[in-house]
Amino acid sequence: MARAAVSRRLTWRAATLQEVRAETGSAHTLVFEVPGWAGHLPGQHVDVRLTAEDGYSTERSYSIASAFSDRDDLVELTVQRIPDGEVSPYLVDVLQPGMRVELRGPVGGWFVWRPADTAPVLLVAGGSGVVPLMAMIRARAEAAVRVPFRLVYSTRTPEDVLYADELRRRALEDRGLDVTVVYTRRVPDGHGRPPGRLTAADLAEWGWPPDFEPSVFVCGPTGFVEAAADLLTDAGHEPQRIKTERFGGTDA
Amino acid sequence: MLDYVDGSSLAGPMRELFAVDVTAVEGRCAGCGLAGPLANLRVYGHDHGPGVVGRCPGCDEVILRLVRTPTDAWLDLRGAVSLRFSM
Amino acid sequence: MSPGFSGRRQPAGPKLPPGQYLTQDFPVLSAGPTPRVPLDTWEFTVITETGERHTWSWAELTALPAEDVTVDIHCVTKWSKLQTHWRGVPIATLLDDVETAADFALAHSYGGYTTNVPLDDLLDGQAWIAYEFEGEPLAPEHGGPARLLVPHLYFWKSAKWVRGLQLLLEDEPGFWETAGYHDYGDPWREQRYQGD
């Protein structure tokens, strides 16, 4: 378990890009090999550091997308390219398999789901905020537990949906997992709900009622998380049961 | 502009200093008395800035500041009455 | 090393202090929420070491003779921006009638920020209370309605949302200075951190 991995101070280590999967036009999943990776919990993140030739360096946090498996030393990050970003365009467009970055992690012990937890889970994602929630969905399947999960995923258009095929497949195959995608700008043909921001009605229809006392995880841009957390508390969810992860408004 | 992120973003920098994750640790604000995990702080200056500043989500008071120099880390926790580690 | 990574930067020119790079945009660094200060309640106060207070309203400040200055600014996070245009009131004008034996000043801002500067560095055409940037009222994210402008020191000394100066006989470190940053902050001597 990750407990063993958090018993000493962390430092930077080399991670080698092994494989790239295009998720959407602007997001890639980067599969890194990190020798001796001792495990992580779904919801944790890593910090990635880039260093230029003259010594200038900068770091950003990225959520881990994959569930931990003790069969390999792989860690998957899904990175959304932000056009004027400093780090994400490099990771998406420049970094090639075989190249290395520095990585620090896994870190973060609050925004995590543990397969031993028995409360129903409501996942609320805005845009690429779905990444750590996907790690939870994958870890649930990996651990073969039946805790009921609902994902409400707000994104701009059908082309922006991350993990679209896998979510469709898991919604059919993973028993007790419901997936709802809410579109803010444009909907697919034949979709009933008109495009628009996530509403209280969406959460009432596709989430869990507060009486079920679900554990709620909300992740997305800061503005989205503020709005969604307000809707949830207004609907009667206890603030203590709502865990949030805001990744700011820009390069995350 | 909502230019802050969650206290979870402190996890990496703090794990270079401490052997345990402090973002799940409960802190109490010296300003308004609100208690909660450091993960719930509002963190400013996370991607560029002289340092990171963690503020109370209840009253915006500064709870924590962390500055990295080439040789040192400066950690100021003056805004926290206490930190409660679960053992 | 990350081959092909250079960051959001341009090569340094000859006019820059050591370790700085040139930027054309104006990065916004924040340590907290941006204060919104209505002009009808805005005040600027000088408090001397004896506790004497001198206060200016927005109307009083902007009625004072202002100067247009063109200066280079250098942020401790390593960006420099050349030939920026500001309009504001010289600090020396505000201190004209202030009786003091102080050698130091601690600038205070709306929102709680502070920074320390030797008083001599605020006089003789070296520092202003600036309220226009590039011909426009200073935007809140850049410190409006008014900020301290001390361009010969690293830009964290140019306190945004400034609301006063506390004049002191002894130096008292401010917000970043108590967390490892240099008390003086001369970019040409690369005084970024305590001990530099």
> What does the alpha-carbon distance between residue A152 and residue A214 come to, in Å, rounded to a whole number?
14
pLDDT of A249 above 70: no
Identity of the residue in B5, B16, B38 whose CB atom sits nearest the CB atom of A222: B5
CA atoms within 13 A on the CB side of B50: 24
Residue C76, pLDDT score: 95
ipTM for the predicted complex comes to: 0.92
* Tens-digit pLDDT profile for residues C144-190: 999 999 999 999 999 999 999 999 999 999 999 999 999 999 999 99
Across the interface, of B2, B16, B48, the residue whose CB is closest to A249 is: B2
* Cβ contact C193–B69 (<8 Å): yes
What chains are in contact with A, requiring at least 3 Cβ pairs below 8 Å?
B, C
Whether C22 is covered by a domain: the verdict is: no
Binding partners of B (≥3 Cβ pairs within 8 A): A, C
Q: What is the pLDDT of residue C108?
A: 98
Give the distance, in angstroms, between the CA of residue A115 and the centroid of all CA atoms in the same chain: 16
Q: Does B76 touch chain C (CB under 8 A)?
A: yes
Domain count, chain C: 1
CATH of the domain at C119: 3.90.420.10
Which residue on chain B is closest to C154 by alpha carbon? B50
Contacts with A56 from chain C: Cβ below 8 Å:
6-7, 9, 21, 78
When pLDDT is averaged across residues A181-192 and rounded to a whole number, the result is 94
Whether B86 has its CB under 8 Å from any CB of chain C: the answer is: no
A-C interface: how many C-beta pairs under 8 angstroms? 32
Tokens read off for A137: 């969905």
Q: Residue A148 pLDDT more than 60? A: yes
Collapsing DSSP states into helix, strand and coil, what is residue A212?
helix
Please state, in angstroms and rounded to a whole number, the distance separating the CA atoms of residues C50 and C43. Answer: 20
Helices (H), ranges, C40-187: 58-63, 91-95
Between CA C171 and CA C156 the distance in angstroms is: 17
Contact of B29 with B2, CB cutoff 8 Å: no
Q: Does C25 touch chain A (CB under 8 A)?
A: no
Q: Which chain C residue lies closest to A50 (C-alpha atoms)?
A: C2
Say whether residue C5 is in contact with chain A using an 8 A CB cutoff: yes
Q: What is the pTM of this model?
A: 0.89
Q: How many helices (H) and strands (E) does chain B have?
A: 1, 8
Contacts 24+ apart (CB under 8 A), A206-213: A206/A150, A206/A152, A206/A178, A206/A180, A206/A182, A207/A122, A207/A124, A207/A150, A207/A152, A207/A232, A208/A120, A208/A122, A208/A148, A208/A150, A210/A235, A210/A236, A210/A237, A210/A238, A212/A120, A213/A119, A213/A120, A213/A238, A213/A241
The answer, for A8 touching chain B at a CB cutoff of 8 Å, is yes
The range of the structural domain enclosing residue C119 comes to 39-189
Whether the CB-CB separation of C70 and C128 falls below 8 Å is answered with no
pLDDT band at C2 (very low <50, low <70, confident <90, very high): confident
Per-residue confidence at C83, pLDDT binned at 50, 70, 90?
very high
Domain-located, residue C98: yes
Residue B1's nearest CA partner among C196, C141, A176, C185 is: C141
Helix, coil or strand: residue C160: coil
- Nearest chain B residue to C8 by CA distance is B48
**CATH number for the A121-246 domain, one of 3.40.50.970, 3.40.50.11750, 3.40.50.300, 3.40.50.80?**
3.40.50.80
Q: Averaged over B9-30, what is the pLDDT?
A: 93
Average pLDDT over residues A131-147: 97
Give the residue range(s) of CATH 2.40.30.10 domains in chain A: 2-107
User: Which whole-number Å values give the CA distances from C79 to C73, C133, C138, in the listed order?
Assistant: 9, 18, 20
Contact A62, A77 (CB under 8 A): yes
Residue C180's closest chain B neighbor by CA? Answer: B74
Q: What is the percent of chain C with per-residue pLDDT over 70, rounded to a whole number?
A: 96
pLDDT the model gives residue A3: 46
Residue C130 lies in a domain: yes
pLDDT of the residue at C13: 56
Q: Which chains touch C (3 or more CB pairs under 8 A)?
A: A, B
Q: For C144-181, give one letter per residue: b (16+ CB within 10 A) or e.
A: bbbbbbbbbbbbbbbbbbbbbbbbbeebebbbbbbbbb
- According to the CATH classification, is domain A2-107 in 2.40.30.10? yes
pLDDT score of A7 more than 60? no
Min distance A96 CA to chain C CA atoms (Å): 10
Which residues of chain A lie closer than 8 angstroms to B46, CB-CB?
61, 248
A111 in contact with B at a CB cutoff of 8 Å?
yes
pLDDT tens-digit readout, A216-236: 999 999 999 999 999 999 999
Interchain contact C21–B (C-beta under 8 A)? no
Domain spans in chain B, listed from the N-terminal domain onward: 5-84
Q: Which of A10, A222, A245 minimises the CB distance to B4?
A: A222
Q: Per the domain annotation, does C57 fall within a domain? A: yes
Residue C100 lies in a domain: yes
Mean pLDDT of the region C52-57: 98
Q: How far is CA A162 from CA A23, A133, B76, C4, in A?
A: 6, 11, 39, 27
Contacts of B67 in chain C (CB under 8 A): 176, 179-181
Cα distance between the two ends of chain A: 27
- Percent of chain C at pLDDT > 90 equals 87
Question: Cβ separation of B1 and A108 shorter than 8 Å?
Answer: no
User: Given phi > 0 = left and psi -120 to 50 = alpha, else beta, which region is C7?
Assistant: left
Scored b (16 or more CB within 10 A) or e, B2-14 reads: ebbbbbbbbbbbb
- Least CB–CB distance from A56: residue in C3, C4, C9: C9
Interface of A with B in 156-185 (CB under 8 A): none
Q: How far apart are CA A139 and CA A145, in angstroms?
A: 9
User: Is residue C29 in a domain?
Assistant: no
pLDDT of residue C101: 97
A71 pLDDT more than 90: no
With an 8 Å Cβ cutoff, are B11 and A109 in contact? yes
- Looking at the complex, does the CB of residue A49 fall below 8 Å from at least one CB of chain B? no
Q: Tens digit of pLDDT for each residue in C95-115?
A: 999 999 999 999 999 999 999
